[in-house]
Structure formats: C-alpha cells, structure tokens
Amino acid sequence: MAPLRLQHLHFPSHNPSHFPPYSLASKLQSLLRRQHLDHKDSPSGPPPPPALISFTPLPIYTLGRRQSSPLSQSEIARLSQPLSLAGGTTTLPVTTSHSPRGGLTTYHGPGQIVLWPVLDIHSRSHKQFTVRCYSRLLENTTISTLRSLFRIEAFTTEDPGVWTAVEGKEERKIAALGVHLRRHISGLGTAINVDMPSTADVTDEKANPWKRIVACGIEGKTVTCVRERLPADQVLRGTEEVADGWAGELARRIEVDGGVEKMGVERVLRLLEEAIDKSEEGEEQGEREYINDVWKGVKIGWVEEALNRGV
C-alpha cells in the first residue's frame, strides 16, 4: 500500500495580472471538501488524502460571521477603491465577499500567502484532532515555519492569529487564522503576511489595504509582515517557498508517513476547471481568465520560471 501523502496544490502567479480570484480557490476548496464528504456518505475504497491549497489572490476583503449588519454603500465603496502596488506602478481592483469563518473583516491579497488545509480531523489515516486542537495545529505550524525559514519568533495571544513582538513590547499580527468545519472536514486556514504594507509602514489608504479596516475587529492592534521583521541583509523568501515550508511542517505534525506530494501545475489547472464546472455558485469574473493565462504560461515557460523563483 502506497504511503499517505499530503497533496499540495499551489496556484502559480507571475505578476499582478496573474493573481487568481479568491473565488477560484474557494471553488477548489469546495470540490476537495465534497470528495471527503462523499466518501463519508459512501465509504468505498480509501478516503481522499489530506490536501493543502496555497495561493496569493487578487485583493479582497472577506467579511466573517460576526459581521451581523451589512456594510453601507459608502463602506463598500471605500473598501472597493483600487489598490496601488509597487510604488504606484500597478493598480488592482478590490472586491468584497462573505466568508464562513468567524470574526469580522480581514484582507487578503498580493504579498500574502493563503494556506487552506482540506482534511478530515477525525480521519484514522493520520493524527486526529479536536476542533480546538486543530486551531492550535494551524497556529503552531505557522510559528514553526516562521522560525525555521526566517528565524522570526512568533507566538499566540488571547486574540486569534499569530503575532510577533516589535521592539520587545508591541504585539503585531503577522498571520491571520480562520477555520470552518463541516462534518469534521476542514476549510479555510491561515494567511501569512510575507511582503506587504503593515499598519504603521504606509498610511495612505490607496496603497495600504489595512488602513481601510480594523483588521478582524480587534481595536488597538496592528499588523506586520515578514519583510518588516527581517534584518536588511537577510534574503526574503518567495511566497511559494513559504507555502512549501508550511506544507512540510503540516505533514510532519499530522503524521502522514509519505510527507508532501506537490501537485503539478497542469493537474492543478484541470482540477480548477472541474471545480468551476461543478460549482453551484456558477462561474465568476476572472476565474477562466486566470486558468487560461496559466495554461499559456505553461506553454511559453513563464510558469516554470515563476516556480523556480518561488512566487
């Protein structure tokens, strides 16, 4: 019998025009979760392997379940203002969407790596977890990855997420956490700020998405990123390299005997096409465009170049 491996599905990106829509990752997550749920309903053959989806999306604000009242039109208009990147040389549209996670509003976008494990926390194929222990698993996997890749000492507090200390005292969030479970099948996960504006770094709302919100509704707290915490002479690893490190740490902690199997780009693209076709929500703007752009990139070689650069 082949050893069980964690399947790592990474969305490649080449430049700001090739970031995937958040909705596309959500559709892939739904497809993988449905495979687990179908196996629970009709358990013939081995269960689906645990998986990890990693991606950097186009800019988006997601609204958690604690967002009890709808945003006003003026609030939506403020959040949806285009975001300026790379010193103003690139401008990207910003969207908003509701999320099944807890909490209030948070941001995902360029400079961040989003990591969504899809696994059965009660599976007999690997280590089992309670709901609380699963949240701790995500936090500890993130803390260990930051330490091993960047020598950053991070920790947890009474507030959700992973934090670092600035000048030994001020706590700033470096990674967000959001969990959704359906019949013990995990959804959502964590998002690590790798190279993006921090709360204190850039004060202009046009260039700093965090200035438009109180992140996750936690007043008086700020965010930081890996780049901000590194010495000037230390190399900043790319988002894909961070995802690979996180995947390896997760595989070790859930005790799969075969480690990580990273899925090839062409196989990921076919799964994305299947996810769109089977989605009950229908196709959304930009999803096919991203897939088609990456298929073109496979043919001309930019995808391989991007993967070699760790983006």
Active site residues: 216
CA distances from 61 to 1, 81, 116, 170, 254 (A): 44, 11, 17, 25, 30
Residue 56 to residue 109: CA distance in whole angstroms: 6
Contact 66, 160 (CB under 8 A): no
Q: Which residues, other chains included, contact 179 with Cβ-Cβ below 8 Å and sequence gap of 6+? A: 101, 102, 131, 134, 135, 138, 186, 187, 188, 189
Give the CB-side neighbour count of residue 10, counting CA atoms within 13 A: 26
